[in-house]
Structure 1
Amino acid sequence: MANTSASSLQFTEDCEATNQELYKLFATVVIVIFILALPLNASVLHLFIFKLRFWKSHTNNVFLFNLVLADALLLFCLPIKAYNFIQGRRRSGSGAVCKAMLFMLFLNRGASVAFLTVTSIDRYFNVVHPGRKNLLRALKKSPEISILIWLLLLPLTIPTMLKDFDCCRSHRHDDGGTLIKDVVDGLREAVFFTQILLPFVILVYCTVHIIDRLSKKTVGDKTKLRRAVFLVMSVMVVFSFCFLPCTVARLVLLCVRVHELSGSNEDTAVVAFDGLMVLSYMDCLLDPLVYCFCSTKFKAVYFANYFPFLVKGAPAALDNSRRNTAHQLRDNAI
């Protein structure tokens, strides 16, 4: 009984913010991300559903819609996360809220990574192997592959949907760890790291080969290849800025806790991990800006519908341009 009480006390201490002023700054950043990302993602979702009707498209619109949908899941979590930080806690004190938050956060992360990766692979085949038939090119014409991706993400999310994952208590010696606990901890951390590192390797491979294809093309129109390079490079920027830093920070935090280093080192590692996790929430803001708007056609439709005063020309010409651009966007890959 005493061991249980001690474990509960340690767990509570692990989830308390050691520097409350700094966590209030984290909360401010989270609120700013939420304020900027909410109207942006809402407008993009509205455009996909009511203007482009993505389900009728034979392009990457289906993948992009699911990417924005994944980012929308994260938006529901940000106000709660900001409130916890303001209260001086790293997570919610409610077990149900904590599990729901972790489920949404990691489902968002997994879906964002998956759809960014799938779309980059599709672009790789279109550019590097344009004449080769591939399964992805056939499947992307229907929503089945997107549904399959969401279903595959669910079992990968379950291992992370635990309280002690949020407070990073994996492989702690003071928990009286057993073999089963070590195996569960190892599996949970393996899911977390594989979910980021494996897609990153795939993205590097696709990027290198697309750039190489561009450098070898001496004749013909290079515009499509340049857009492809910009697209995959943009995805690399999102990964490098949002996902890799928090992954490295978690690895450092695990090393600090496994080797039982000094308390000050552990506090620093915890704050760094939480701060970089806040940075990872930027993906819901960067995905629409960097990925969707890398297409000039999509950008034209977006501005024509939501910011027509920024588009030069008469209203009649604008309406014709809007209709023509929408039709082109449905008929051509983004």
Structure 2
Amino acid sequence: MKLLAGALFFAMGLSSVLGTLPPSHSADQCPNTSLILRTFRLTVTCNITTLKEKQLKDIQAPVTNLYLPILYLLAFSVGLPSNIMVLWVLVFRTNRLPSMFFLINLTIADCLLLLVLPFRIVYHFRGNHWELGEPFCRVVMAVFYGNMYGSAWFLALVAIDRYVALVHPFKALTLRTQRMSVYMTVAVWTVVLAAMLPLLMSRQTYVLDKLQITTCHDALPEEEHENYFLPYFSTLFACCFLLPFAIILFCHSAVLRTLLAEGKRYAHAIRVTVLVLLVFIVCLLPSNVLLLLTYADIWVDGDGEDFYIPYMISLAVSTFNSSLDPFIFYFVSTEFRQKLKRSLCCSGDHQGQPSSKGNNISSSTSQRTNVTLVSMTRRQTVT
């Protein structure tokens, strides 16, 4: 309930800020306007843009127009098929348990993020040139960022679920209910929608005449940056990355301490827990830190040039978090692999059938409490 109340408060706060959204600039206006191309400063005089030589090279560099879309293509090729298979098994081949809401919604968020990557791939292969119009650019960027941070929050909910089940087993039966899972899931989607409204309601495409390209989310007026987008991204960093990151770190640390105290029988579950932490830190921490440093550098009158390419690369790397989630949470489970094999072979696995190994797809934990992330049966063992 506290999480739901916090989500609603966050949504109301962001909604009130929407009233200060800067208006879109008409193409017929002809004042001098200072824009920022992600981390670049550029000047527009009568809609004619100018860039420094180094900035021209960076925005058209092979790193931006070749290696970056290749990273996105790899994340898409690996992540989307695996997440779709996982979603199929979770929806049609597993028990309808309260904590399953977290896993299903985590997979949905990962799928939605990966589904918009082809548009980013084409955009970068085309030299950062957007040809699909302003409205669709807004939608793509809102889905991209929204599901990235939504995935972070669902990972935090999974961590809370594991923490309660293992560290506080006597409270697990009362706290891990279907109603509570639904409330927390709705709260996360409310936060994500509220956080993405500013991107949906503000202009995202700008024409760079010197390069003859139309950027999508890569350029914005400097005044809008300082007065609106700097506090917006700072709030997004604090509420949608830093807070879930702190929750994940605390919960997994407590789980690790508990598992280490149990002995070698839990070595596999310990490795999975460490892997979850490492992937989250490696994939999501650099992009969020560089995002904050980029905007802070521009705010103190720096040009931020040195952060442009590192940030763009780190943003592409962050999508691998969604690609790797299925392998961390599901494919490490022997039972999940068996269910997937039965599904692919059409062998008629009966939904909800109990197993001697249990349904611990997500974390392979809690032999001590016999309460795991996806099953509360007494016959579970750690996979």
Q: What TM-score do you get using the length of structure 1 for normalisation? A: 0.78
Unaligned runs of at least 5 residues, structure 2: 1-29, 34-43, 206-215, 361-370, 375-383
Q: Give the whole-Å Cα distance in 1 for the aligned partners of 2:173 and 2:56.
A: 47
Kindly indicate whether the alpha-carbon contact (under 8 Å) linking 1:62 and 1:143 is maintained by their aligned counterparts in 2: yes
Native 8 Å contact 2:99 2:176 kept in 1: no
1:213 equivalent in alignment to 2:258:
yes
Instruction: Give the alignment partner of residue 289 of structure 1, picking from 327, 330, 351.
Output: 327
User: Residue 359 of structure 2 corresponds to which residue in structure 1?
Assistant: 329
Alignment partner for residue 315 of structure 2, among 277, 280, 283?
277
Quote the Cα distance in structure 2 between the aligned partners of 1:244 and 1:291. 20
Segments of 5+ residues of structure 1 without an aligned counterpart are: 309-314
Counterpart among 286, 297, 308 of residue 256 in structure 1? 297
For 1:151, what is the secondary structure of its paired residue? helix
Change (3 A) 1:182 1:253: closer
In 2, are the aligned partners of 1:73 and 1:108 still within 8 Å (CA)? yes
State the Cα RMSD in Å.
3.6
Match of 1:50 in 2: 92
Partner of 1:189: 233
Deviation at 1:109, TM superposition (A): 1.1
| Shift, 1:153, TM fit | 1.8
Q: How far 1:15 moved relative to its partner?
A: 10
Work out the CA distance in 2 between the residues paired with 1:155 and 1:7. 35
- Counterpart secondary structure, 1:329: coil
Deviations 1:217-258 (A, max 9, x none): 47xxx74x5565444423312221211011122123223322
Separation (CA, whole Å) in 2 of partners of 1:254 and 1:206: 30
The partner residue of 2:62 within 21, 25, 37 is 21
| 3-state SS of 2:171 partner | coil
Choose which of 233, 243, 248 in structure 2 pairs with 1:198.
243
Compare the two structures and name the one with the higher helix fraction: 1
Alpha-carbon contact 1:74-1:104 (below 8 Å) kept: yes
Deviation at 1:167, TM superposition (A): 2.7
Aligned-partner residue type, residue 212 of structure 1 = R
- CA separation of 1:134/1:324 partners in 2, compared to 1, >3 Å: closer, same or farther? closer
1: CA distance, partners of 2:150 / 2:338? 27
Separation in structure 2 between the aligned mates of residue 17 and residue 153 of structure 1, nearest angstrom? 32
Q: How many Å separate the matches in 2 of 1:294 and 1:283? A: 16
Q: CA deviation at 1:6?
A: 3.2
Q: Where does residue 32 of structure 2 map in the other structure?
A: 3
1:66, 1:11 → 2: CA distance?
Answer: 44
Rounded Cα–Cα distance in structure 1 between residues aligned with 2:118 and 2:313? 16
Q: Does 1:237 align with 2:267?
A: no
- Name whichever of 195-204 and 128-137 sits farther off: 128-137
Aligned partners of 1:15 and 1:188: how far apart in 2? 27
User: Residues 165 and 372 of structure 2 are in contact (CA less than 8 Å); yes or no, is this contact kept in structure 1?
Assistant: no
**What does residue 158 of structure 2 align with?**
119
Q: Which moved more, 1:109-118 or 1:182-191?
A: 182-191
Evaluate the alpha carbon distance shift between residue 246 and residue 102 of structure 1 in structure 2; reply closer, same or farther with a 3 A threshold.
Answer: same
- The number of aligned residues is 309
Is 1:110–2:139 an aligned residue pair?
no
Counterpart Cα distance in 2 of 1:160 and 1:48: 32
Contact kept? 1:159, 1:187, Cα under 8 Å: no
